[in-house]
Amino acid sequence: MQATAPTSVEPLAGQHPESHALIKPGYDERLTNEDLAPLRKQTWGTYNIFAFWMSDVHSVGGYITAGSLFALGLSSWQVLVSLLAGILIVQFFCNLVAKPSQVTGVPYPVICRASFGVLGANIPAIIRGLIAVAWYGIQTYLASSAFLILALHFMPSLAPYADVKQHGFAGLSTLGWCAFMTLWVLQALVFWTGMETIRKFIDWAGPAVYVVMIALAIWLVSKAGWENVNFTLSFLKYQGWDAVPVMLSAIALVVSYFSGPMLNFGDFSRYAKDFRSVRRGNFWGLPINFLGFSLLTVITTSATLPVFGKLITDPVETVSHIDSTFAMLLGAFTFMTATIGINIVANFVSPAFDFSNVSPKHISWRTGGMIAAVASIFITPWNLYNHPTMIHYTLDVLGAFIGPLFGILIADYYLVRRQHVKVDDLYTLRPTGTYWYSKGYNPAAVATMIPAAIIPILCVIVPAWQGLANYSWFVGMGIALVLYRALAPRMMRAHLA
């Protein structure tokens, strides 16, 4: 029988009567807290999932990524085909990864206990958490640049404090520190108030960016003239069959860009009232929304050339060139809000659940999130971002683990267990529990992770293999899918014997 999250149960002694968690008497406290337990009630609808993807797509990073595809030397239709193919792949995999968490009402690290073991699930949780910490810091730094532009616009006398050589610490100027920490605190405040506030925040953040993007596009086009707007941002370099490898790389880039939030999408799909809402939200939020945002991006980017005399791919920089104080304020605030949105949904909520999973008794969801936020300061993300080679290798090596983690989760739920999950056994340390395996770890998952992660890493760091670097997610996911499907049944039989 397919797993379903119960809809009602009496709260335990000491548990708040209005708690959203469904904690049963047999649940081990070393695996359970209010945030990791199955949900008592799931309320998110289609729009909430749609808004989640809007917040994830509508950011400075999403803007630059979409614009970069139009600068590959492909024709406009080839780029649009690549974008559509890539985002449809993302939609397909998001539907797959969403279902186990939606059906059971549990977050990503908990559903991983089915494949990695009740203790082994800390392996994917820590890996995903570390990736989120790095990106959380970088996205906060990127968002703070908009704050910095506004500060210098209204108070030019602060310019010396924006120079790290005159006033700075650890590679960041004094004003840069003020901007970074202001954004850091704002994000923490939104997060601290809980998932309901986050839901409300992303419900309006994504649409707000659309309003400003459309207004910005209309303003730039009116200044440039429609005849000067070109959907191809570079000279045509590839035609016929020569374009195919470039198009495939573009498709892989789209999938890689979404690989992080795609992996832990269960942290959000668990709140959906039914799986149909998830599928519909993914449809409107991914192919429809992403293509619309990409078209607005290329129109806006293309129009910067005739209006400002140079091609500007960073929306914050575009806004800084506008001579209207109100427009600059609105644009900078909106893109700042958009980046906060993606940071919370992709890089705050995820490590909050992941780090809480390591020690549920001592680390709550809020504590886990704050651990990630504090850690993001100490990695000095501005130094990472200012050394592209370093960040490229660091994040690509960490990212090489995402594909295998995804492959194992999908193989276990759909191919090995045929969508059967014993929810109560996800919260027990009894050796008789289904997901105890060997001392809490599933040898099949651990054995699969080693080659499935090493090979994508080699694709990134070995020069002779770097032709496959763009496809490291697919390589790792494919190896894990096949290998886990082969190993898991055998090791389970051996364990039972």
What CATH number should be reported for the domain holding residue 297? 1.10.4160.10
Place of tokens 């799909």: 269
Q: Is residue 424 part of a domain?
A: yes
Three-state DSSP at 159 gives: helix
More confident site: 234 or 267: 267
Which two tokens mark 285?
């939020």
- Check whether 117 has a pLDDT greater than 50: yes
Could you tell me how many residues make up the chain? 497
Q: Is residue 11 part of a domain?
A: no
Q: Identify any residues that bridge with 438 across adjacent strands, giving them in sequence order.
A: 441
389 Cβ contact list (under 8 Å, min separation 6): none
Given this model, what pLDDT does residue 45 score? 95
Given this model, what pLDDT does residue 414 score? 96
Q: Is residue 21 part of a domain?
A: no
User: What is the C-alpha to C-alpha distance for residues 226 and 268, in angstroms, rounded to an integer?
Assistant: 40
Q: Is residue 210 part of a domain?
A: yes
Which two tokens mark 383?
């130094």
User: What is the C-alpha to C-alpha distance for residues 88 and 310, in angstroms, rounded to an integer?
Assistant: 33
Q: Is residue 35 part of a domain?
A: no
User: What is the C-alpha to C-alpha distance for residues 395 and 292, in angstroms, rounded to an integer?
Assistant: 28
Q: Is residue 6 part of a domain?
A: no
More confident site: 204 or 452: 452
- Check whether 489 has a pLDDT greater than 90: no
Q: Is residue 23 part of a domain?
A: no
pLDDT band at residue 217 under the 50/70/90 scheme? confident
Given this model, what pLDDT does residue 19 score? 61
251 burial class (0-12, 13-18, 19+ CB within 10 angstroms)? buried
Instruction: Say if CB 413 and CB 100 are below 8 A apart.
Output: yes
Residues 92-128: b if buried by 16+ CB within 10 A, e if exposed: ebbbbbbbbbbbbbbbbbbbbbbbbbbbbbbbbbbbb
Least confident interval from 75-89, 112-126, 375-389, 467-481: 375-389
- Check whether 411 has a pLDDT greater than 50: yes
Given this model, what pLDDT does residue 4 score? 47
> Structural domain of residue 353, as residue ranges?
46-496
Q: Is residue 193 part of a domain?
A: yes
Instruction: Say if CB 164 and CB 173 are below 8 A apart.
Output: yes
- Check whether 186 has a pLDDT greater than 80: yes
pTM of this structure = 0.86
The CA-to-CA distance between both ends of the chain, in Å, stands at 24
Number of structural domains in the chain: 1
More confident site: 109 or 392: 109
